[in-house]
Amino acid sequence: MSIVSPRAGFLPMPMLVLLLLLATTPFWLARLGLYQYLALEVMVWMLFALGYNLMLGTTGLPSFGHGAFFGTGAYAFGLLQQRVLANVWFDLFGAIVIAAALGAIVGACIAHKRGIYFALLTIAFGQVVWFVAVKWHSVTGGEDGLQNIARPLLPLGFATVNLRSNEALFYFCFALFAIAVIVLWRLVHSPFGRVLAAIRQNEVRAAFVGYDVWLYKWLVITIASAFAGLAGAMFALAQQSAYPNVMSLHSSGFVVMMVLIGGGLVSFWGPAIGALFFILARDVLGAATETWLLWYGLLFVVMVLWQPEGIAGLWQAAARRRNVAARAAAARGLNSSGSAPAQGVPAIGNEALHGPL
């Protein structure tokens, strides 16, 4: 099932609900006994997962080294701030460009591959970037990471905002998140996104009808890397540091699990659901046991075996059952009154309800 809908509004209701919930977290999160940084962390991982799903869910490209671009954005933001210019806009833009450039280089090397060979190459490139981050002590700080990344003043032209305030930082990151989600939504539901969906369905057929499959795959890798770089820069700004562990293979696996558990293969919003579920499961299970990742992994296995469409797939299946039940009830009502079905309302028979007899 494709996540690309032929009819997509500019600001769909799920997006408005998500943005409203995130924007109001400073007013109700503390009343639930949760800390404000949790909302910021969820937002960063949502952005990372939504950008990654441009590859996995939309185009069908399985990447298991995507954490390399997330970490590259984090390190680029910190290094640009400390060694070039301490300006938030410059550092953010630089982080996005550097992560996208790395993605373009990697994409040029692997875009001609597909399936398991593509996935293995993403692991290899991801491990190379992680190894460089660990060993290049003079630049990255090695295993200790890049420390003392500041939260500088945010120049807006008409005013200056101090990002040292957690609330100011949250709303700044929220604004970036909202813009990024709108861009991703429009990208997925554009003609470009429909070509990506065609490549996912059948790469050979997409090439046969005239699309340059290599170019589209290279572009989507580069774009997804840019969004990962933005998420990494926001993460570095929030944590005031950058560490190589976000580039590791297991961190790259986390975003894959978020997308699959959330239902990114069938819904644009699946990665956001999966990121929220992952962070909450980490905190809830982590408070109960140190082996929370074991239980989360078992849950992931059960979900993949029992409901491969994820949480969003469960919701869609329930909605379909409700629609079928409503149409069946309407058909029974029309039959009992002796009237023919209204124009535009198809009659529901046993085959429609239960499949071919």
Q: What is the pTM of this model?
A: 0.87
pLDDT at 356: 38
pLDDT at 346 over 90: no
Residues 1-23: pLDDT tens digits?
A: 556 555 567 788 989 999 999 99
Question: Which of left, alpha, beta for 194 (phi over 0: left; psi -120 to 50: alpha)?
Answer: alpha
Q: What is the dihedral sign for C-alpha 320, 321, 327, 328?
A: positive
CB 309 within 8 A of CB 269: no
Percent of the chain with pLDDT over 70: 91
**What's the whole-number mean pLDDT along residues 78-99?**
95
pLDDT at 341 over 60: no
pLDDT at 268 over 60: yes
pLDDT at 117: 94
pLDDT at 226: 97
**What's the whole-number mean pLDDT along residues 194-211?**
94
Q: What is the dihedral sign for C-alpha 32, 37, 42, 47?
A: positive
Residues 40-67: pLDDT tens digits?
A: 999 999 999 999 999 999 999 999 999 9
| 354 vs 189: which has the higher pLDDT | 189
Please state the three-class secondary structure of the chain as a single string.
CCCCCCCCCCCCHHHHHHHHHHHCHHHHCHHHCCCHHHHHHHHHHHHHHHHHHHHHHHHCCCCCCCHHHHHHHHHHHHHHHHHCCCCHHHHHHHHHHHHHHHHHHHHHHHCCCCCHHHHHHHHHHHHHHHHHHHHCHHHHCHHHCECCCCCCEEECCCCEEECCCHHHHHHHHHHHHHHHHHHHHHHHCCHHHHHHHHHHHCHHHHHHCCCCHHHHHHHHHHHHHHHHHHHHHHHHHHHCCECHHHHCHHHHHHHHHHHHHHCCCCCCCHHHHHHHHHHHHHHHHHHHCCCHHHHHHHHHHHHHHHCCCHHHHHHHHHHHHHHHHHHHHHHHHHHHCCCCCCCCCCCCCHHHHHCCC
